[in-house]
Structure 1
């Protein structure tokens, strides 16, 4: 079952955080964008499972219902709602994995000895990296939005903060997967040193940077630890 769950998690993260366009994300209260996104979920799930259509269709149908309900009920675009939404998708994936435990093993990739062990681990790595970087960008952004209004007007590179966040989460993820946890502390110290000159006279900016940094690196740590645990289970399966 662990291979099936890994494939479905991989497909979900690709569909939601790599292949979902802005039109899909903002138009789920309309049939066209909702069906387009659902089609992406189905196709990526179908491909990741190696041609198992029923679990892919099941997960895609639940994904559509969750997205439609969220769009109709409305959302305050908070971190809590983001986590609740992703948690609901996670439960749908778990249900699909429990109902079709051998979907991956009986699919195309499971029948190819060279890919049986390697493909799920590669899926886990890619999914974990996207979870740490791309999904983390949304999660940390939603956490920091209420504090952004209190920031002073400062000039900086266009989208520079977002790029810094993606880089620090990506580096944190790589350090965790390579077993270099001490390097995470060095990364935090290095960023703090580079920022000290710009924030030492502004407490609001200092607190904003500290919260954002800890949230960003904390998210990446959780993604890295979770990915390492998943790969360990795949290796023991």
Structure 2
């Protein structure tokens, strides 16, 4: 279990946190000719090797890196502008399945270098997942809707403010659940609704209201589900 958590953490770091948008754009434009594709592949291998921390696991990190590159190349070559959402989901599922396969293939004994205890790995992976990875996932899911009114209000908003608000609200929900303060989630949701009510009322756009509501529910729902899963995993360690 901990081996998979470490590999998943390496994947989240390599695919979401430490992959700039410029890398993604360059890969989509140049595909196999993009140097950033190979840097991305190398990064995944290095991250897996560092986080697992076992010399005998090196061949498996090479396997992870190579398969990651193959999956990314397939996506880059076959995705179209109107199928990016589908290919993103397929791409992530395939990467996770590879990690699961590697865990089953690996027969060596796990060496604990006592960097951190098992609770740390579970917590950090959960926290990391609800930041940028979840933002990208939600953005991809709701990309099929794009209210015109949404674009007209962006000029009056802080740069990337919506993204940061989403990350912060998910972190608050995550902490509230792990500390047993479920009632605080209701106050947070009510506070966001009050602040949003004025903008939505002024816009007088039902599509925009539904767009915001779907995004909010996905954000809160993902944070709650992640926190509950982390809570169950932590309880199993005791």
Match of 1:50 among 29, 50, 53: 53
Of the three residues 127, 136, 149, the one matched with 2:134 is 136
Give the Cα–Cα distance (whole angstroms) in 2 for the partners of residues 204 and 68 of structure 1. 36
Matches within 5 A, 1:86-235: 86-102=92-108, 105-106=110-111, 110=112, 112=113, 114-115=114-115, 118-151=116-149, 153-154=152-153, 155-201=156-202, 202=204, 203-233=206-236, 235=237
The aligned residue for residue 36 of structure 2 is 33
1: CA distance, partners of 2:121 / 2:137: 22
- Using the TM superposition, give the Cα deviation of residue 71 of structure 1 relative to its aligned residue in structure 2, in angstroms: 0.6
Using structure 2 for the length normalisation, give the TM-score. Answer: 0.85
Given the superposition, is the C-alpha separation of residues 199 and 23 from structure 1 closer, same or farther in structure 2, using an over 3 Å criterion?
closer
**What is the aligned length?**
225
What TM-score, normalized by structure 1, do the two folds share? 0.85
Displacement of 1:96 in angstroms is 0.6
* Alpha carbons 2:41, 2:69 under 8 Å: kept: yes
Contact 1:132 1:224 in 2 (8 A): no
Mapped contact 2:71–2:95 kept (Cα < 8 A): yes
Q: Which ranges in structure 2 are unaligned for 5 or more consecutive residues?
A: none
Q: Which moved more, 1:35-44 or 1:199-208?
A: 199-208
CA offsets, 1:166-199, max 9 Å, x none? Answer: 1112212222222323322222111112212221
Q: CA deviation at 1:66?
A: 0.9
Q: Does structure 2 retain, via aligned residues, the 8 Å contact 1:8–1:93?
A: yes
Deviation by residue 1:66-125 (Cα, 9 ceiling, x = unmatched): 1111111114222x433322111110000010111545x13xxx1x3x44xx44332222
Asked if 1:81 is matched to 2:83, the reply is: no
User: Are residues 89 and 186 of structure 1, via their aligned partners in 2, closer, same or farther at CA, if it must alter by over 3 Å?
Assistant: same
Structure-1 residue corresponding to 2:13: 14
Deviation per residue, 1:7-44 (Å, 9 max, x gap): 11111111111111223323341242221101000000
Q: Does 1:60 align with 2:65?
A: yes
Q: 1: CA distance between counterparts of 2:39 and 2:177?
A: 36
Which deviates the most, 13-22 or 27-36?
27-36
Q: Distance in 2 between matches of 1:231 and 1:63?
A: 29
